[in-house]
């Protein structure tokens, strides 16, 4: 085997592509019930866009981006997440001038150069939504409910919604200093990894998976107790609204998002079914990003979710059987001389939108029947001398085994009526 797909990438083969198509369509359907419209942005952007948008010192920008120089000497990057691109498009096309609130969603590949593991690929797929233009906590609530609704629409119930507020520029910085002091005092009890993080990103220490870190930070100050009045009210209102909307959630003061641009609301949807990579979706409010990227000061909320992780949960729960496309009719020939006739019949049916298949390998009738069975087609028509002479066709129902005889002229009608 000479050529192989790149490490951490996967082919979606014909046997499974229909599942992706169906899942994507269902996601679209829920998005549309909330009146979000699809936006499609290029898979690569100027490197600076992500460095600026996501944050120079995040892991994503620091070590995970697929960055290259094109022949013109420009530094380009395969998008590691989609929000920055969406906001770029929002600003570039002045979407905010057309209407005060822009509600968009996306289903898109994303790229990060990490070591692959369960639920993590180098090219993976995200779906998500962004509502740009309102600071109303009702939008936060809508985004969270939208994300949750997508999972529910697939019959998935084994997930937990965790929400937090990471404050704004003012109260977060004050809190960070208080937290730093606390962490420095107990730093000898922390893991080496966490010790390094005290300066760079102290809030991340609270989110550590290390058992000892968890114990050591049990009495750590949580940001929820240090929010300014504005952030505090916003968070209280959000909880109130979610309760009114019958969205079940947990408040978790330790949630920190990996991207720098979040303000106020941060949330995660965690699967209780998956392994180590159990985050189905994450999101929150990012009131500073639009301005940061050169637009007007515009508040926004959004979420991003992993398509592969949704598929993993679906597979684990064996929730849904997605039907693959299949031919309704298989038209076989009894002998090769009838090939032209079956081509013609297939042509007629296809023109009417009836999916059908014929043999293209000069196979025996037995083989054709086997093929029809394997293709899971509903009906088989065998064309031979008899049919040509009588102008009548036998239609075999493959489920019941019964055969019905019709006039050749009624062929299309037969499949367009209740049988079709």
Give the nearer residue to RNA in terms of CB position, either 72 or 401: 401
276 touches RNA (CB under 7 A): yes
Q: Which of 382, 411, 414, 415 binds RNA (CB under 7 A)?
A: 382
Give the nearer residue to RNA in terms of CB position, either 168 or 281: 281
Give the nearer residue to RNA in terms of CB position, either 54 or 171: 54
**Which run of H or E residues covers position 245?**
none
363 touches RNA (CB under 7 A): yes
- Distance, in Å, from the CA atom of 61 to the CA atom of 76, rounded to the nearest integer, reads 13
Q: Which of 124, 235, 286, 415 binds RNA (CB under 7 A)?
A: 124
Size of the site for RNA (CB under 7 A): 72
119 touches RNA (CB under 7 A): yes
| Strands ordered across the beta sheet of 300-306 | 37-38, 102-111, 123-132, 300-306, 279-285, 263-271, 159-165, 250-251
Name the minimum Å distance from CB 73 to RNA: 25
Burial 219-233 (b: 16+ CB within 10 A, else e): ebbbbbebbbeebbe
Q: Which of 12, 118, 170, 245 binds RNA (CB under 7 A)?
A: 118
411 touches RNA (CB under 7 A): no
Residue 119: Cβ-neighbour burial (10 angstroms; 0-12, 13-18, 19+): buried
- Within residues 133-192, the interface with RNA by CB under 7 A covers none
Name the minimum Å distance from CB 229 to RNA: 28
- Within residues 7-66, the interface with RNA by CB under 7 A covers 7-9, 58-60, 64
Query: Is-contact 57 51, C-beta < 8 A?
Result: no
130 touches RNA (CB under 7 A): no
Give the tokens for residue 369: 């029947």
79 touches RNA (CB under 7 A): no
Could you tell me which stretch among 37-45, 84-92, 134-142, 373-381 binds RNA (CB under 7 A)? 373-381
120 touches RNA (CB under 7 A): yes
406 touches RNA (CB under 7 A): no
Query: Is-contact 368 335, C-beta < 8 A?
Result: no
- Within residues 300-319, the interface with RNA by CB under 7 A covers 304-306, 308-309
| DSSP state, residue 322 | P
Give the nearer residue to RNA in terms of CB position, either 22 or 64: 64
Query: Is-contact 206 220, C-beta < 8 A?
Result: yes
Give the nearer residue to RNA in terms of CB position, either 137 or 282: 282
The full DSSP string for 92-129 is HTTHHHH-S-EEEEEEEEEE-----BTTB-SEEEEEEE
Give the tokens for residue 27: 């996601």
Q: Which of 24, 210, 230, 292 binds RNA (CB under 7 A)?
A: 210
206 touches RNA (CB under 7 A): no
272 touches RNA (CB under 7 A): no
Q: Which of 137, 282, 295, 327 binds RNA (CB under 7 A)?
A: 282
- Number of alpha carbons in the 13 Å side-chain half-sphere of residue 129: 25
| Nearest alpha-carbon partner for 184 in 202, 157, 210, 208 | 202
Name the minimum Å distance from CB 258 to RNA: 1
253 touches RNA (CB under 7 A): no
Name the minimum Å distance from CB 99 to RNA: 27
- Distance, in Å, from the CA atom of 140 to the CA atom of 329, rounded to the nearest integer, reads 50
Q: Which of 69, 315, 319, 364 binds RNA (CB under 7 A)?
A: 364
- Within residues 213-252, the interface with RNA by CB under 7 A covers none
> Would you state the torsion angle of the CA atoms of residues 234, 235, 240, 242, taken in this order, to the nearest 10 degrees?
110
Query: Is-contact 147 281, C-beta < 8 A?
Result: yes
Q: Which of 277, 292, 311, 317 binds RNA (CB under 7 A)?
A: 277
């Amino acid at each position: 085997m000479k050529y192989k797909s790149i490490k951490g990438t996967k082919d979606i083969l014909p046997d499974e592509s229909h599942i992706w198509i169906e899942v994507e369509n269902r996601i679209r359907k829920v998005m549309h019930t909330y009146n979000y419209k699809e936006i499609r942005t290029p898979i690569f952007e100027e490197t600076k866009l992500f460095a600026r948008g996501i944050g120079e010192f995040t892991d994503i920008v620091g070590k995970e981006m697929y960055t290259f120089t094109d022949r013109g000497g420009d530094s380009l990057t395969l998008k590691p997440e989609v929000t920055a691109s969406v906001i770029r498009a929002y600003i570039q096309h002045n979407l905010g001038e057309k209407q005060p609130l822009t509600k968009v969603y996306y289903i898109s590949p994303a790229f990060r150069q990490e070591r692959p593991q369960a639920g993590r690929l180098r090219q993976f797929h995200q779906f998500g939504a962004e509502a740009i233009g309102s600071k109303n906590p009702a939008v936060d609530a809508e985004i969270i409910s939208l994300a949750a609704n997508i999972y529910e629409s697939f019959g998935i119930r084994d997930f937990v919604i965790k929400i937090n507020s990471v404050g704004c520029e003012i109260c977060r910085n004050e809190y960070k200093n208080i937290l730093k002091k606390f962490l420095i005092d107990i730093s000898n009890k922390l893991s080496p990894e966490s010790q390094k993080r005290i300066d760079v990103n102290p809030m991340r220490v609270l989110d550590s998976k290390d058992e000892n870190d968890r114990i050591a930070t049990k009495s750590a100050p949580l940001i929820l107790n240090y929010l300014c009045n504005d952030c505090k009210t916003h968070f209280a209102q959000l909880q109130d609204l979610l309760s009114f909307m019958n969205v079940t959630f947990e408040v978790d003061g330790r949630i920190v998002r990996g991207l720098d641009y979040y303000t106020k609301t941060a949330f995660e949807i965690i699967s209780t079914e998956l392994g180590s990579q159990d985050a189905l979706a994450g999101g929150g409010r990012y009131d500073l990003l639009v301005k940061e990227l050169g637009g007007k000061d515009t508040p926004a909320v959004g979420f991003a979710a992993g398509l592969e992780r949704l598929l993993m949960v679906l597979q684990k729960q064996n929730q849904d059987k997605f039907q693959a496309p299949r031919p309704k009719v298989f038209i076989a020939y009894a002998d090769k001389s009838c090939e032209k006739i079956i081509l013609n019949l297939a042509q007629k049916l296809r023109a009417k939108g009836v999916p059908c298949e014929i043999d293209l390998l000069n196979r025996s009738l037995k083989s054709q029947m086997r093929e029809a069975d394997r293709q899971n087609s509903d009906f088989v028509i065998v064309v031979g001398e008899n049919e040509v002479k009588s102008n009548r066709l036998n239609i075999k129902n493959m489920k019941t085994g019964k055969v019905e005889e019709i006039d050749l002229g009624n062929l299309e009608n037969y499949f367009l009526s209740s049988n079709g």
